[in-house]
């Protein structure tokens, strides 16, 4: 939830909504919203409600909108081909929304549709300034945000053909070629695919992919059932199961079912039916696209879980993507900014200091008392950083404890970063309000820009950013330690986004990036460079912080036993 | 919204030329799309017209949709383009001075149009529930203001009150609805 807006906001806002906003007031409102991103986000929420009131109170007959839309569609259908022909004129302004261009597997049946589609394609090709891929072009699977169909959740020694992809990157429709190593993808529809190099595939949508060569093992839980995996000769529909699909250089395809059932068909055969089911433990080789029966084989493929266990065992021996770390192994309970003593860990270009170093404010630590980590996470070895209460302080903001990263986060390229820390909210308070916490990454290049996460006074975790805050449903329990993992994902030319996962002490930390986050942030373009971490709290609730990590992978910031 | 299997079945029928199936898809997605678009279009935009245009474009491009994908996400991608086009159109209109919207609020609306959140239908449902909790007089005032779009002076005359008093009443009602919404949406969070 955004911070409370300035007192004058209410009067200005009311005048804006109901009329009577004087020019000077309009200027004041402009200034207020421009200078305070939280107020702008709050105004956005209020404006949404204002607009939705009109819709909620609208008196209309049931089905009016559907009838009107169908009538308009019918009218468009009759004149569509003619309209498309008109659009062939380059001077005609064209706004043709074309979402993710997935190859159609079924042609429209309307008589005009085929003509219209071809004319539309011609119009797009002729339209100046519009980059339209050739029909046979295969654009690479560039990381993107709004059109992401899959996320790269785990890699093991992976090298990609023509791309440098990192864990956590989100992938759009396009081709992927893994030359060396292994990688685990999670599709938007929920299915997970383990790629074993060498493998080449095309991501078609959040629920389908084409394997051109190599082996892909796919696991689709019940909610992700229906995933379609194709090869040059066969198509497999996952019915809630795990199976491996291997494509030989000539296109012959081997299917091995590890769990559950699949439905398969050769591409030139009719749609899959009961006669083309394969069950757990069964395997067969489909030689050509007209091979309707396949050749039975013994099933020998290992499960995804077994492969990942092997991968993790190997990964434990290798250095990871940890960029900055502090476990607060300090022998003192207090120091000050000017003493430059709180300089432990690695990957920093400054010691911890309070935001206004001239005041030489105190930094507090508890030596030798780490916070308990959730199940599976490597426990801390040092102490904790303490953010005590300061009820005597007149303002509501405590000066942040901050530290600069040795390797700032440049947001103008393809970048994924994970920030984790353990946090405990004190069970006691020094007053009725200002019980919040904030852990913010601060821009070095864009004034007042920052993003991060925090805990509201009522205990609910939140994601904070210039595009609005997002709040979790459930509060943290006072006195209990939690692991918070922030993910920041940015892609060149696409909006970035943040995600937050919170684990309680008894929860098992995911071995790799989770499918479900506690809070998903607002998407937007994050410019500039994030150079430092600021941690601060409200004046009437203490917090303890431990095991701060910044890294390039989920595994780097969630080290396991 | 329909479950994915039912949606796919309707899409297949619609792709094969079944107008009833397309109508069912519109019916299933109507409120989600209308609420999302309404929430992102400023006053002066005909949100329902933009919503209809969204469905028309979806119809035209239905052959490009691959069954097994996320139909809702695909549809909202089209809606995003439509809303951005509408925002651009409105910005260019000369009479925007009469329908003044602060620049920062424009930017906020544009950000939200690009955001992945597609659940304004939940906010709309919560708002309807909050409206149901108001007394008849309060609902009548809001209906006059928002559904009938009567000038405030006319509402004030009908109620034998000052325009200022009506504005104050509306302000308090919006505040009450805002608090109610926050409570309801917080309870709905997964």
pLDDT value of residue A551: 92
Is residue B48 within 8 Å of residue B90, measured between CB atoms? no
Which of A57, A272, A456 has the most B C-beta neighbours within 10 Å, making it the best mutation to test the interface with B? Answer: A57
Per-residue CA distances from B28 to A292, B1, B17, B39 (Å): 38, 5, 18, 19
Place of tokens 């200078």: A35
> Taking CB atoms and an 8 Å cutoff, what residues of chain A touch B16?
106, 108-109
Give the DSSP per-residue string, A401-452.
EEEEEEEEEETTSSEEEEEEEEEEEEEEESSSS---EEEEEEESSSTT-EEE
Q: A460: nearest CA in chain B?
A: B186
pLDDT value of residue A60: 66
pLDDT value of residue A117: 34
Three-state DSSP state, B29: helix
A188:B108 CB<8 A: no
Give residues 522 to 541 of A whose Cβ lies within 8 Å of B. Answer: 522-524
> Taking CB atoms and an 8 Å cutoff, what residues of chain B touch A106?
12, 15-16, 63, 67
Is residue B86 within 8 Å of residue A225, measured between CB atoms? no
A99:B61 CB<8 A: yes
pLDDT value of residue B177: 94
Of B66, B174, B189, the CB nearest to A205: B66
pLDDT single digits (tens) A408-451: 898 877 789 999 999 999 998 888 888 999 999 998 887 777 89
pLDDT value of residue A195: 92
One-letter-per-residue 3-state SS of A329-355:
CCCCCEEEHHHCCCCCCECECCCCEEC
Q: What is the rounded distance in angstroms from the CA atom of residue A243 to the CA atom of residue A229? A: 10
Q: What is the rounded distance in angstroms from the CA atom of residue A502 to the CA atom of residue A365? A: 23
Q: For strand A494-503 and strand A519-520, is the pairing parallel, antiparallel, or unpaired?
A: antiparallel
Q: What is the rounded distance in angstroms from the CA atom of residue A372 to the CA atom of residue A128? A: 61
Is residue B7 within 8 Å of residue B71, measured between CB atoms? yes
pLDDT value of residue A536: 92
B147:A59 CB<8 A: yes
CB count, 10 Å around CB of A519? 21
State the number of CA atoms in the 13 A half-sphere of A458 facing the CB: 10
Give the DSSP per-residue string, A197-224.
EEEEEEEEETTEEEEEEEEEEEEE-GGG
Is residue B136 within 8 Å of residue B48, measured between CB atoms? no
* A248: Cβ contacts below 8 Å, ≥ 6 apart: A213, A254
Of A95, A100, A523, the CB nearest to B74: A100
pLDDT value of residue A398: 65
List alpha helices for B119-162, DSSP H. 120-132, 136-142, 152-159
Q: How far is B161 from chain A (nearest CA, A)?
A: 16
Per-residue CA distances from A6 to A3, A40, A212, B172 (Å): 9, 11, 58, 18
> Taking CB atoms and an 8 Å cutoff, what residues of chain A touch B68?
189, 205, 207-208, 226-228
Q: For strand A208-220 and strand A228-230, is the pairing parallel, antiparallel, or unpaired?
A: parallel
pLDDT single digits (tens) B84-122: 877 777 766 544 444 677 888 888 888 888 776 667 888
Q: B68: nearest CA in chain A?
A: A207
Whether pLDDT at B67 is above 90? no
pLDDT value of residue B130: 94
Distance of CA A8 to the CA centre of its chain: 37
State the number of CA atoms in the 13 A half-sphere of B1 facing the CB: 18
> Taking CB atoms and an 8 Å cutoff, what residues of chain A touch B46?
none
Tell me the pTM.
0.47
Residue from A555, A436, A411 nearest A497 by CA: A411
Written as tens digits, the pLDDT of chain A (561 aa) is: 445 566 788 888 988 888 778 888 888 888 888 888 888 888 988 999 998 998 888 876 667 788 777 777 765 554 433 333 333 222 222 222 223 323 322 222 232 233 233 333 333 332 332 222 222 333 333 333 446 788 888 877 777 777 677 778 888 888 888 887 888 898 887 889 999 888 999 998 888 899 999 999 998 876 666 788 999 999 888 777 889 999 988 889 999 998 888 888 888 765 544 447 888 888 889 998 888 888 888 887 777 777 766 665 545 444 468 889 899 988 889 998 877 788 888 888 888 988 776 667 889 999 888 998 898 888 887 899 999 988 777 554 567 899 989 888 988 777 899 999 999 999 988 888 889 999 999 988 877 778 999 999 999 999 998 888 899 989 999 999 999 999 999 877 677 889 999 999 888 888 888 888 999 988 888 888 898 999 999 888 999 999 999 998 898 999 886
Token reading at A345: 């860990």
Of B4, B57, B170, the CB nearest to A226: B4
Distance in Å from the first CA to the final CA of chain A: 37
Q: What is the rounded distance in angstroms from the CA atom of residue B80 to the CA atom of residue B139? A: 32
B186:A41 CB<8 A: no
Instruction: Report ipTM for this prediction.
Output: 0.85
Residue from A489, A453, A482 nearest A470 by CA: A453
Distance in Å from the first CA to the final CA of chain B: 18
Task: Identify the residue with better confidence: B45 or B144.
Answer: B144
Q: What is the rounded distance in angstroms from the CA atom of residue B68 to the CA atom of residue A229? A: 10
Q: How far is B107 from chain A (nearest CA, A)?
A: 9
Cβ burial, residue A307 (10 Å; 0-12/13-18/19+): middle
Q: What is the rounded distance in angstroms from the CA atom of residue A39 to the CA atom of residue A37? A: 5
Three-state DSSP state, A455: strand
Q: How far is A351 from chain B (nearest CA, A)?
A: 37
Q: How far is B77 from chain A (nearest CA, A)?
A: 6
Q: A467: nearest CA in chain B?
A: B111
Q: What is the rounded distance in angstroms from the CA atom of residue A380 to the CA atom of residue B72? A: 44
Q: How far is B158 from chain A (nearest CA, A)?
A: 17
> Taking CB atoms and an 8 Å cutoff, what residues of chain A touch B82?
97
Give residues 115 to 174 of B whose Cβ lies within 8 Å of A. Answer: 115-117, 120, 123-124, 127-128, 131, 139, 142-143, 146-147, 149, 152, 167, 170-171, 174
Q: What is the rounded distance in angstroms from the CA atom of residue A483 to the CA atom of residue A501? A: 8
Give residues 257 to 296 of A whose Cβ lies within 8 Å of B. Answer: none
Q: A36: nearest CA in chain B?
A: B104
Q: What is the rounded distance in angstroms from the CA atom of residue B35 to the CA atom of residue A56? A: 9
Say whether residue A297 is in contact with chain B using an 8 A CB cutoff. no
pLDDT value of residue A413: 77
Q: What is the rounded distance in angstroms from the CA atom of residue A205 to the CA atom of residue B11? A: 15
How many interface pairs between A and B have CB atoms less than 8 angstroms apart? Answer: 256
pLDDT single digits (tens) A190-232: 889 999 888 999 998 888 899 999 999 998 876 666 788 999 9
> Taking CB atoms and an 8 Å cutoff, what residues of chain A touch B171?
10, 14, 18
Q: What is the rounded distance in angstroms from the CA atom of residue B54 to the CA atom of residue B34? A: 10
CB count, 10 Å around CB of A332? 13
CB count, 10 Å around CB of A166? 17
pLDDT single digits (tens) B121-171: 888 999 999 999 999 999 999 998 888 878 888 889 889 999 889 999 999
A57:B143 CB<8 A: yes
Give residues 5 to 44 of B whose Cβ lies within 8 Å of A. Answer: 5, 8, 12, 15-17, 19, 22-23, 26-27, 30, 34-35, 38-43
B85:A17 CB<8 A: no
């Amino acid at each position: 939830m955004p911070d409370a807006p300035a007192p004058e906001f209410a009067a200005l806002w009311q005048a804006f909504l109901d009329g009577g906003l004087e020019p000077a007031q309009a200027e004041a409102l402009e200034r207020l919203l421009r200078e305070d991103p939280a107020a702008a986000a709050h105004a956005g929420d209020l404006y949404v409600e204002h607009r939705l009131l009109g819709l909620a109170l609208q008196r209309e007959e049931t089905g009016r909108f559907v009838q009107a839309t169908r009538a308009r569609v019918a009218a468009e259908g009759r004149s569509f081909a003619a309209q498309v022909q008109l659009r062939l004129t380059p001077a005609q302004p064209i706004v043709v929304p074309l979402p993710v261009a997935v190859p159609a597997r079924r042609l429209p049946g309307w008589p005009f549709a085929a003509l219209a589609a071809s004319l539309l394609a011609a119009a797009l090709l002729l339209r100046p300034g519009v980059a339209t891929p050739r029909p046979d072009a295969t654009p690479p699977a560039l990381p993107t945000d709004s059109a992401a169909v899959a996320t790269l959740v785990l890699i093991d020694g992976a090298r990609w053909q023509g791309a440098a992809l990192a864990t956590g990157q989100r992938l759009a429709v396009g081709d992927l070629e893994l030359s060396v190593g292994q990688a685990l993808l999670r599709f938007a529809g929920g299915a997970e695919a383990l790629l074993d190099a060498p493998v080449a595939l095309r991501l078609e949508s959040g629920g389908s992919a084409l394997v051109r060569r190599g082996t892909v093992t796919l696991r689709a839980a019940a909610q992700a059932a229906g995933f379609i995996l194709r090869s040059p000769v066969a198509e497999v529909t996952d019915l809630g199961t795990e199976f491996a699909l291997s494509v030989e250089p000539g296109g012959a395809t081997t299917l091995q079912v590890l769990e559950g059932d699949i439905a398969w068909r050769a591409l030139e055969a009719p749609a899959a039916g009961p006669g083309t089911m394969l069950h757990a433990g069964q395997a067969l080789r489909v030689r050509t696209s007209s091979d309707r029966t396949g050749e039975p084989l013994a099933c020998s493929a290992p499960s995804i879980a077994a492969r990942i266990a092997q991968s993790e065992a190997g990964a434990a021996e290798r250095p990871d993507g940890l960029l900055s770390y502090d476990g607060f192994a300090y022998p003192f309970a207090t120091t000050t900014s000017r003493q430059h003593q709180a300089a432990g860990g690695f990957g920093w270009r400054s010691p911890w200091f309070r935001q206004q170093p001239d005041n030489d404010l105190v930094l507090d630590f508890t030596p030798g008392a780490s916070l308990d980590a959730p199940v599976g996470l490597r426990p801390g070895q040092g102490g904790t950083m303490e953010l005590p209460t300061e009820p005597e302080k007149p303002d509501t903001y405590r000066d942040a404890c901050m530290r600069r990263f040795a390797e700032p986060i440049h947001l103008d390229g393809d970048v994924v970063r994970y920030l984790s820390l353990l946090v405990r909210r004190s069970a006691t308070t020094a007053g009725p309000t200002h019980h919040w916490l904030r852990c913010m990454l601060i821009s070095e290049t864009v004034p007042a820009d920052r993003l991060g996460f925090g805990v509201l006074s009522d205990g609910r975790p939140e994601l904070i950013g210039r595009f609005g805050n997002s709040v979790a449903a459930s509060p943290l329990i006072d006195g209990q330690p939690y692991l918070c993992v922030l993910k920041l994902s940015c892609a060149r030319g696409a909006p970035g986004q943040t995600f937050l996962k919170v684990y309680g002490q008894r929860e098992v930390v995911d071995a790799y990036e989770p499918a479900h986050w506690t809070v998903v942030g607002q998407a937007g373009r994050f410019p500039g460079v994030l150079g430092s971490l600021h941690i601060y709290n409200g004046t009437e609730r203490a917090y303890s912080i431990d095991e701060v990590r910044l890294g390039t992978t989920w595994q780097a910031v969630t080290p396991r036993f | 919204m329909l479950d994915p299997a039912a949606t796919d079945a309707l899409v297949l029928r619609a792709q094969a030329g079944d107008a009833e199936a397309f109508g069912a898809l519109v019916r299933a997605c109507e409120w989600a799309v209308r609420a999302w678009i309404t929430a992102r279009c400023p006053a002066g935009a005909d949100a329902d017209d933009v919503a209809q245009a969204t469905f028309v474009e979806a119809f035209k491009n239905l052959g490009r949709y691959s069954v097994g994908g996320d139909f809702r996400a695909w549809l909202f991608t089209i809606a995003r383009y439509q809303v951005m086009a509408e925002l651009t159109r409105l910005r260019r209109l000369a009479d925007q001075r009469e329908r003044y919207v602060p620049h920062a609020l424009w930017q906020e609306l544009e950000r939200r149009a690009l955001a992945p959140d597609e659940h304004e239908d939940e906010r709309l449902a919560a708002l309807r529930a909050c409206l149901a909790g108001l007394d008849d007089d309060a609902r009548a005032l809001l209906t006059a203001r928002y559904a009938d779009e009567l000038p405030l002076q006319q509402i004030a005359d009908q109620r034998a009150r000052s325009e200022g008093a009506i504005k104050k009443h509306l302000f308090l009602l919006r505040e009450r609805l805002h608090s109610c919404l926050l409570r309801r949406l917080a309870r709905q969070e997964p």
